[in-house]
Structure 1
Amino acid sequence: MEKIQKFGTFAGVFTPSLLTILGVIMYMRLGWVVGNAGLIGTIVIIIIAHIISVTTGLSISSVATDKKIGAGGVYYVLSRSMGIPIGGSIGIALYVGTALSIALYLIGFAESFNDFFNFGMTINDFRITGTIALVGITLLALISTSIALKTQYIILTAIVVSIISIVFGTRDFAPETVSMVATKDAVPMEIIFAVFFPAVTGFTAGIAMSGDLKDPKTSIPKGTLWAIGVGLIVYIFLSVFMALTINSETLKSDYNILMKMALFSPAVVAGIWGATLSSALGGILGGPRILQAMSMDKVTPKVFSKGKGQNNEPVNALMLVFIIAEAGILIGELDVIARVVSMFYLTAYGFINIAFFLENWANPDFQPTFKIKRWIGLLGFFACFAVMFKLDIFAMIGALAIIASLYFWLQRKEVKIQSNDVWRSVWENIVNKGLKKINANTEVQSSWNPNIILFSGQSEHQSYLLELSKTVSGRTGIVTNFKLIVDENNNKPLKKTEQVVSDDVFSDLGIFARQMKVDNIYTGIKNIATTFGFSGVEPNTIMMGWPKGLEGSKEYAEMTETLLHLDYNLLYLDFDKKTKFGNYKAVDLWWRETDSKNAEMMLNIARFIIASARWHETNIRVLFVNNNNVDDKIIHNKIDKLVEDLRVNIEIKIIDNAVQQIAFYDLIKQYSSTTDLTIVGIPNYKIEQQAEFIVKTNQLFETIGSALLVKAANNFNVLDLNFIQEKS
């Protein structure tokens, strides 16, 4: 049986990364950069570019030593950290960018090759040479990845020899004075940076080989960081060398000056060809593995997941890379594509950095053996997008638009993998810190933020109770519905996983749903009210249907007494099966002198009702029963001020009742018989009077539509509704 070939740090990561870093930019554009930017400007450009590559290299190295790294390189890391939609969209963009960058490298090779042998220098000549080179390296990759990687040792040797030949070459072009900064006629720094930046993007070439490594957790950090470090030293050294030995005008105008000054010019030619071909070879080896990994995750068509041999070489994916690269070569003019490709790389690096930051910050299970400070990832993230914005805002917008489109497509596709992404940990961390902040704030709340425990039952009008509970909880309130399953023996409670109810009815409304076994409904409600909740968002309101037929129940009375003792807000809905909520156009709030706390709660409910989509055109009325012959203007002005403070637009109606002394419930029957929802406060009464109160209230509900009874807890402010002392 054929033995699976796996590669170590040097062959699998360091060499392909370094050869892509020391590419065509070093030989044919670094001198131009030095000539235009000056020595100091060049070093600044190199350092800024390496801030991105170093932070990204550190971030991906840290993630690589925490997670099991599979095939796919950057795609694998991002998909397992941030989920398939983000990982897949960046992976597809990076794959296309890698394939097109092969075309760029081979066109650079074609220019040098044709010039050296005095072949044609037209765009068609470059297409022919580039295509032949593409076929050659593709065949090499098809024959054997091992052979392809071993050829890189020859190329690395050629690059080293070429650099030595340059250093010991002629000094005929030495400047009279070293140009330290950019001259007035120099190219703008943004353009210079844009030309240079592709030189530092090569370090992901080794990461893309992650599936072919013996020990990716060791090889990726070592190989990547060593390649970046060696590349940084070489670029700074050559920048200083060229600034000291070649005048700026020559550097700006002659792209082949290194070959002309070299001790042995063929060595430089070999280095240029080796650099361009090795960079293209790195793309040929790495690009297909990204596509193969995505296809295995069902992000891209399954046909690209198939490979050949013991190593499962990605043959089908390689063919697509060949097609995209050849399309780039045939286009010939790749300036616009090159800018967008650079944006794809910068975007990918930005997401690598933020993935590390979020993993480090939020994931309690993030335990990498290669530890770095989390701010390094944040720095890399902001640096990537700051550079993108500075270089070309339109190309940045284009790249982000394409990636956003891919993201939404993958989100709709709903690809699932057996891996938890970091977002759950992020939300858990945010919630955790938020709860601590809320719990630490001991100040009295200025407004009611409902956290409702709902007992909706299983009646045919349950949906209306659910709807109203969500309405009165407002935009930020929490509603948890409990389904109580009566089991008189109740020997074994439901498992934690069984207690969670997954139902579209609840999820569509944004209501959490739970179910519990109880031996008695009323005991169950008391136990839940006593124990449910956690610090920071303790439940503060109990809501349920109105207890018709329970006026004589001792157990119900004891439950109510417990809820009042626990100081919950109580909401009871009497739902009219015939009128329902009518046209959602009219809501009445009934106030009396004894409703000082209930009144404020009603106003809060009214504010939430108006804010909801269903009730936003409703008329809110406050009806105040004037039993003490107080001047209506005094009452109206005071209520108007209370209403104004709570920013609720309502109509105020004063009912003079000092002479007739009509019973409160009879007035409600008279004025609210056609109201869509009537809200009435529950007065203070002794628990032994509960049966009498329920009977009277039942009689009221027979003559009006749906009604909501409220009993405010003690944390509500007291609204002064006692106008006796202000009698004129």
Structure 2
Amino acid sequence: MAVGKKFGTFAGVFTPSILTILGVIMYMRLGWVVGNAGLIGAIMIIILAHVIAVSTGLSVSSVATDKKIGAGGVYYVLSRSMGIPIGGSIGIALYIGTAFSIALYLIGFAESFNNYFGFGTSINDVRLTGTIALVGLTALALISTSAAIKTQFFILAAIIVSLVAVFFGNSSFEPETVKMFSSEESIPLEVVFAVFFPAVTGFTAGIAMSGDLEDPKRSIPRGTLYAIGVGLIIYIALAVFLAYNVDSANLKSDYNILMKIALFAPAVVAGIWGATLSSALGGILGGPRILQAMSVDKVTPPIFGKGRGKNNEPVNALFLVFIIAEAGILIGELDVIARVVSMFYLTAYGFINISYFLESWANPDFQPTFKIKSWIGLLGFMACFAVMFKLDMLAMLGAFAVIAALYIWLQRKEVKLQSNDVWRSVWENVVNKGLKKIDAEVDEKSNWNPNIILFSGQSEHQSYLLQLGKTVSGRTGIVTNFKLILDKENNKPLKRTEQIVRDETFTDLGIFARQIKVSNIYDGITNIATTYGFSGVEPNTIMMGWPKGLENSTEYSKMTTTLIHLDYNLLYLDFDRNQKFGNYKTVDFWWRETDSKNAEMMLNIARFIIASPRWNETSIRVLFVNNNNVDKVLIHNKIHELVEDLRVSVEIIIINNAVEQKPFYDIIEDFSENTDLTVVGIPNFGVEKQAKFVLKTNHLFETIGSTLLVKAANNFNVLDLDFIKKE
């Protein structure tokens, strides 16, 4: 398909931007600003407003020179940088805001037009004139974008002539002394700033034409910054001129003062009409292109993505703009809408700035040809939201609520782009810096933050082991599940991309999942335990199902010895397939004199279990077997002290066994037969005793419910449970 005429910097960016900047605020309110704020106050307001304009202009210019800029202006920049949910929510808000702003401009035009020619000024008269103007401008845009762009040249000429007429006019209102600052009877400066600020929000009009530019990377930075710069110079020059030529009383009270001091008043009238009509025309040209770009990305209905002619003119999107703008004109009273609309613009500018800051800070592939300091984007972001808060907190909250709703909707819609957004780079940068900080700190027996390697196997009960693994890891712990695929030959390992498992079961629990081929299960577990992890977040715990029937396996014994040598915490779950975890109501922790390190680990597990939603109503008991006839009160007080330090609410039970000397496991059978989860420490035993321990433990599991065996690593503190020393 043939490509229609594209526009350069002056016609495509500078002209629509400067025409929106030099609008009704300059003609109808700048004198009022100077009268209330004084010359110095007015200049400060102008400069402060331009801090946002300049920082946003610099930010969008830098982003525009890094990657190809397509149609859609601000939407395109944000969606390709920060992702569809943010780009789309801001884009929709900007589209609606742009459509309503057209109504605002045309209502202003209609009031001035009707008043000048002596037509009616009732709300119905304003609606009629505004509607006629809207139909005319829409027809012009439908006939030809090129013709609309050329029309803007005539309007620009009219504005220039009007400014010349003002600067060369004769004033009979010269003040005796120039008022430099605001006085007590003047309107507060924040209110004056709120009235003036919309004057600097027009510089994105040119960016919206990005899809119709010959060279967006060149035109957007130049055209945008030139427009902002020229606007700043004109506003400051006009403020100085008005302060020295008109007294503050007339500046405050007479909105038409420029016409009265101009060399030729009709020239100013033509400038006002040109400014309002050109601003409306800029919205009519730019708004549909935002909607068209969003429809191409499937954010909005595809029907609005269809265009006409060589340049793919967004006709369908233009009709929707017409309907929204006409609705605004028919409403007539748009004060509340106007407040929220201005917030949408400020929100968009804030996100443009933070987008640049994040790109420059986190994205290693961000290489713009137009380079600026990254702090400029952060400054612009903070300035935008500070101004929003100061101007109208309720309108700001309204804008945020709408944008948040759009964001949530687009996230659920799951629209994907082929390009990556900046958030991945941000998280990678944060993780990188965090890992370096963690790795630089010496770990001196700090609180246990579990990083669990989980071997859950493949069975219908796998989900319960996964569930408990996530429970005992706590809110901030990490769990990585490994599926071991037995392949005796194992000549060809899985590709890296094939090793990553993305399954709904793991995603819902927040568990990372991997799968690898191994020639031997026990060697595979040992290899993973030896090599998996990286600096700063090394795994510290191995969790798996209890290995029944392996009491005579030398491979299992070798694996366990290696895991203990590597100083991992070990968690073995014997899962009761009939009772499962019962009602998630009772947990028993069994202590004995030899459980000095296991005890502290159990108390950490108890804290995590209580914090879990599924176990939050559970009753926890700590049961201690007193084999040495030590005073029960002494033991109870000591355990209570330990438990209280770790802020875990438990019931403490002391079982005297000095006389009967019943085997430890027999006592567990008596007390924990109906417990939903029993937690028992693994004692220190040599390889020669391992088979006997497994056999005894298997017998225990036949009589009680689900049981978790724990073996603490050396990083846990030794709790003094050998109370016989106290006698």
Instruction: Bin the TM-score by the shorter chain.
Output: over 0.9
1:117 shift after superposition: 2.3
Pairs aligned (count): 727
Distance in 2 of aligned mates of 1:335 and 1:532? 61
| Counterpart in the other structure of 2:360 | 360
| Counterpart in the other structure of 1:20 | 20
1:419 shift after superposition: 2.0
| Counterpart in the other structure of 1:213 | 213
| Counterpart in the other structure of 2:724 | 724
Distance in 2 of aligned mates of 1:575 and 1:324? 63
Map 1:416-435 to 2 at 5 A: 416-435=416-435
| Counterpart in the other structure of 1:52 | 52
| Counterpart in the other structure of 2:171 | 171
1:718 shift after superposition: 0.4
| Counterpart in the other structure of 1:91 | 91
1:725 shift after superposition: 2.0
- Name the CA shift for 1:2/1:594 in 2 (closer, same or farther; >3 Å): closer
1:2 shift after superposition: 5.2
Distance in 1 of aligned mates of 2:339 and 2:693? 77
| Counterpart in the other structure of 2:493 | 493
1:186 shift after superposition: 2.0
Amino acid at match of 2:180: M
Amino acid at match of 2:159: I
| Counterpart in the other structure of 1:109 | 109
**Could you say what secondary structure the match of 1:548 adopts?**
coil
| Counterpart in the other structure of 2:196 | 196
**Could you say what secondary structure the match of 1:208 adopts?**
helix
* 8 A contact 2:13–2:219 mirrored in 1: yes
1:75-111 residue CA offsets vs partner (Å, 9 max, x unmatched): 1111111221211111111111111111221222222
| Counterpart in the other structure of 1:186 | 186
1:69 shift after superposition: 0.9
Amino acid at match of 1:344: F
1:261-312 residue CA offsets vs partner (Å, 9 max, x unmatched): 1112222222222211111111111111011111111111111111110100
Moved more, 222-231 or 276-285: 276-285
Amino acid at match of 1:125: D
Amino acid at match of 1:43: I
**Could you say what secondary structure the match of 1:623 adopts?**
strand
Amino acid at match of 1:217: K
Moved more, 213-222 or 234-243: 213-222
| Counterpart in the other structure of 1:324 | 324
Where do 5+ consecutive residues of structure 2 fail to align? none
Distance in 2 of aligned mates of 1:724 and 1:106? 92
| Counterpart in the other structure of 1:77 | 77
Moved more, 477-486 or 502-511: 502-511
* 8 A contact 2:678–2:708 mirrored in 1: yes
| Counterpart in the other structure of 2:609 | 609
Moved more, 556-565 or 668-677: 668-677
- Please state if 1:567 is matched with 2:577: no
| Counterpart in the other structure of 1:10 | 10
> Normalised by the size of structure 2, how large is the TM-score?
0.98
**Could you say what secondary structure the match of 2:576 adopts?**
coil
Distance in 2 of aligned mates of 1:486 and 1:241? 85
| Counterpart in the other structure of 2:703 | 703
**Could you say what secondary structure the match of 2:126 adopts?**
helix
- Please state if 1:469 is matched with 2:469: yes
Distance in 1 of aligned mates of 2:715 and 2:3? 74
1:226 shift after superposition: 0.7
- Name the CA shift for 1:126/1:712 in 2 (closer, same or farther; >3 Å): same
| Counterpart in the other structure of 1:457 | 457
1:318-345 residue CA offsets vs partner (Å, 9 max, x unmatched): 1111111122222222222221111111
**Could you say what secondary structure the match of 1:703 adopts?**
coil
Moved more, 485-494 or 126-135: 126-135
Distance in 2 of aligned mates of 1:697 and 1:626? 21
Distance in 2 of aligned mates of 1:579 and 1:164? 90
Map 1:595-634 to 2 at 5 A: 595-634=595-634
Distance in 2 of aligned mates of 1:431 and 1:566? 26
Amino acid at match of 2:383: A
Amino acid at match of 1:391: L
Distance in 2 of aligned mates of 1:703 and 1:107? 84
1:685-718 residue CA offsets vs partner (Å, 9 max, x unmatched): 1112211111111111112111111111111100
Moved more, 42-51 or 153-162: 153-162
Distance in 1 of aligned mates of 2:116 and 2:660? 113
Distance in 1 of aligned mates of 2:175 and 2:61? 42
| Counterpart in the other structure of 2:382 | 382
| Counterpart in the other structure of 1:67 | 67
> Normalised by the size of structure 1, how large is the TM-score?
0.98
| Counterpart in the other structure of 1:684 | 684
Moved more, 7-16 or 675-684: 675-684
**Could you say what secondary structure the match of 2:579 adopts?**
coil
Amino acid at match of 1:192: V
Distance in 2 of aligned mates of 1:387 and 1:588? 57
Amino acid at match of 1:592: R
Distance in 1 of aligned mates of 2:513 and 2:366? 31
Identical counterparts, % of pairs:
79
Distance in 2 of aligned mates of 1:99 and 1:718? 70
* 8 A contact 2:591–2:623 mirrored in 1: yes
| Counterpart in the other structure of 1:398 | 398
Distance in 2 of aligned mates of 1:601 and 1:544? 17
Amino acid at match of 1:539: P
Amino acid at match of 1:570: L
Distance in 2 of aligned mates of 1:322 and 1:554? 80
**Could you say what secondary structure the match of 1:596 adopts?**
coil
1:481-519 residue CA offsets vs partner (Å, 9 max, x unmatched): 111001111011101111011111111111111100000
Amino acid at match of 1:230: V
- Please state if 1:138 is matched with 2:149: no
| Counterpart in the other structure of 2:265 | 265
Distance in 2 of aligned mates of 1:413 and 1:509? 22
| Counterpart in the other structure of 1:553 | 553
* 8 A contact 2:101–2:338 mirrored in 1: yes
1:3 shift after superposition: 4.6
Moved more, 713-722 or 697-706: 697-706
Distance in 2 of aligned mates of 1:602 and 1:333? 67
- Aligned-CA RMSD value: 1.3
- Name the CA shift for 1:417/1:631 in 2 (closer, same or farther; >3 Å): same
Moved more, 479-488 or 160-169: 160-169
| Counterpart in the other structure of 2:673 | 673
**Could you say what secondary structure the match of 2:171 adopts?**
coil
Distance in 2 of aligned mates of 1:453 and 1:358? 33
| Counterpart in the other structure of 1:649 | 649
| Counterpart in the other structure of 2:714 | 714
1:237 shift after superposition: 0.2
* 8 A contact 2:60–2:352 mirrored in 1: yes
1:115 shift after superposition: 2.7
1:654-707 residue CA offsets vs partner (Å, 9 max, x unmatched): 122222222112221222222221111111111122111111111111121111
**Could you say what secondary structure the match of 1:263 adopts?**
coil
Distance in 2 of aligned mates of 1:29 and 1:385? 24
Moved more, 510-519 or 272-281: 272-281
| Counterpart in the other structure of 2:408 | 408
- Name the CA shift for 1:297/1:658 in 2 (closer, same or farther; >3 Å): same
Distance in 2 of aligned mates of 1:344 and 1:634? 67
1:653 shift after superposition: 1.4
1:633 shift after superposition: 1.3
Moved more, 362-371 or 53-62: 362-371
Distance in 2 of aligned mates of 1:104 and 1:658? 90
Moved more, 666-675 or 289-298: 666-675
Amino acid at match of 2:137: I
1:151-186 residue CA offsets vs partner (Å, 9 max, x unmatched): 222222221121111111113121111111223332
Distance in 2 of aligned mates of 1:621 and 1:77? 58
Distance in 2 of aligned mates of 1:619 and 1:330? 66
1:110-156 residue CA offsets vs partner (Å, 9 max, x unmatched): 22222332222322222222222211111111111111111222222
1:626 shift after superposition: 1.4
Map 1:214-253 to 2 at 5 A: 214-253=214-253
Distance in 1 of aligned mates of 2:6 and 2:447? 64
Distance in 1 of aligned mates of 2:423 and 2:277? 40
* 8 A contact 2:445–2:717 mirrored in 1: no
**Could you say what secondary structure the match of 2:587 adopts?**
strand
| Counterpart in the other structure of 2:289 | 289
Distance in 2 of aligned mates of 1:2 and 1:488? 61
